[in-house]
Amino acid sequence: MIMENVEKQAEYPKGFTEAFSEDLIDEKVPIKDMVVVFADMLGTKNLMMEVKDNDEKAKETYNKLRKISEIFRDAWGSIFKEDRDKEEIISMEISDSFVLAVPIEKKRELIEIIANFQYKILEECNELMRGGVANGEIIDWNSIENNKNDVQKIIGPAFVSAHILEKENAIYPRIVLDSKLVSEDIKEFLMQDDDGFSFINFKRKKDKKSIEYITNKIQQKIKEASNDKIKQKYNWLLSYLYKESEDG
């Protein structure tokens, strides 16, 4: 017997489509000029895949990600303390990825936050991070009356650009900036790599003993690494830690 494919229209609960339509708006959508960072932890995907049917691994993964989440929130919370500042930023955590967006005039603060975050998770959790920072338009989702109590969302070309920088250009455990963002007021927080990309110098003004401690751990990681790609990332990090910058 031949069965015919029949396209069936999705059926929604009564009143569902009407309720959704009521949330749509006709007025102009507010757009802000913002700086966005998209950062991703390296090497955690395999760890996450190992949690299936393994209670110990699940507990280890949860505790590590919980600590990193706390470090992230402390990093931006220590800079943006006022309620009015917190209302202006977008902060999101997606599995092992982190997003932070701030108004363009606060880009210096953003760079400082991410430098502290990247350094802390390396020092305290032995985790590497790479990312991208870009600026541009972002839809101000939460300022729309219908979305006041909604979850935070980030929509706009600035987020897309930051994500592309992380995926295609960062490569190593570094957080690279769109060249349009590099300016005199933030140059003290940056270093330029051999490929021309400027990246956040997270070891700036850090204690030399702490840097030496991290360097020793990285050297051990290189010895233990069996994967050439992972070894390449650790070697880049080691080279960066040995480099001298103007601010140490």
3-state helix, strand, coil in the chain (%, to 5): 50, 20, 30
Q: Which of 14-23, 63-72, 223-232 has the lowest mean pLDDT?
A: 14-23
Q: What is the DSSP string of 85-143?
A: HHHH-EEEEETTEEEEEEEGGGHHHHHHHHHHHHHHHHHHH--EEEEEEEEEEEE-GGG
Alpha-carbon distance of 33 to 140, in angstroms, equals 10
Instruction: Give φ, ψ of 205 to 5 degrees.
Output: 60, 25
Compute CA distances 218 → 6, 64, 146, 173, whole Å: 59, 19, 49, 12
Q: Map tokens 């997606």 to a residue.
A: 94
**End-to-end CA separation in angstroms for the chain:** 77
**Are residues 96 and 125 in contact, defined by beta-carbon separation less than 8 angstroms?**
no
Alpha-carbon distance of 190 to 197, in angstroms, equals 10
Cα 142 from chain centre:
20
CA atoms within 13 A on the CB side of 7: 0
% of the chain with per-residue pLDDT over 70: 78
Instruction: List the domain boundaries for the chain.
Output: 28-203
- Pairing between β-strand 90-94 and β-strand 31-42 as defined by DSSP bridges: unpaired
**Torsion angle of the four alpha carbons 231, 208, 212, 125, in this order, in degrees rounded to the nearest 10:** -70
pLDDT (0 to 100) of residue 140:
78
| pLDDT digit string, tens, across residues 117-167 | 999 999 999 899 999 999 999 987 766 666 666 667 888 999 999 999 999
| pLDDT digit string, tens, across residues 105-116 | 999 999 999 999
CB neighbours of residue 29 within 10 Å: 11
Superfamily of domain covering 28-203: Nucleotide cyclase, GGDEF domain (3.30.70.1230)
| pLDDT digit string, tens, across residues 11-65 | 444 543 444 445 565 667 778 999 999 999 987 766 666 666 778 878 888 888 8
pTM of the complete model: 0.83
Alpha-carbon distance of 163 to 158, in angstroms, equals 9
Angle, CA of 69, 70 and 73, to the nearest 5° = 90
Task: Check pLDDT > 50 for residue 3.
Answer: no
